[in-house]
Amino acid sequence: KAGVTQTPRYLIKTRGQQVTLSCSPISGHRSVSWYQQTPGQGLQFLFEYFSETQRNKGNFPGRFSGRQFSNSRSEMNVSTLELGDSALYLCASRRGQGYTDTQYFGPGTRLTVL
């Protein structure tokens, strides 16, 4: 069974631009979560989607948004990029709504903001 896939794997943008990252969960998984990983702050939760509805949200500014499609694929968007947005963005999927369900991570998208 294919794992979680994220595209693109690497991205370079300049300040002020916007970016869209994509995540395809494991087949049959309906929950998708997004995380930001930086050396200073570690892994921080951005938001979670289940059946196209945002179920949970972390403490990030409104420049960070996401959505989930009917096929469970998810995208996250960051507008008006700042240097501090440079990070590894990880997507994770799980089968159901249960928070004890195993969460599977993708390899991440490395975003560099210049």
Can you give the binding site for another protein, defined by CB under 8 A? 4, 33, 35, 41-45, 56, 58, 90, 92, 99-100, 102-108
Nearer to another protein by Cβ, of 82 and 101: the residue is 101
Q: How far apart are CA 74 and CA 32, in angstroms?
A: 7
Q: How far is the CB of 109 from another protein (least distance, A)?
A: 11
**Contact between 60 and 34 (Cβ < 8 Å):** no
Other CB atoms within 10 A of residue 84 CB: 10
CA geometry: angle 108, 110, 112, nearest 5 deg: 160
Nearer to another protein, 67 or 110 (CB): 110
Q: Please identify, using beta-carbon distances, which residue of 30 and 79 lies nearer to another protein.
A: 30
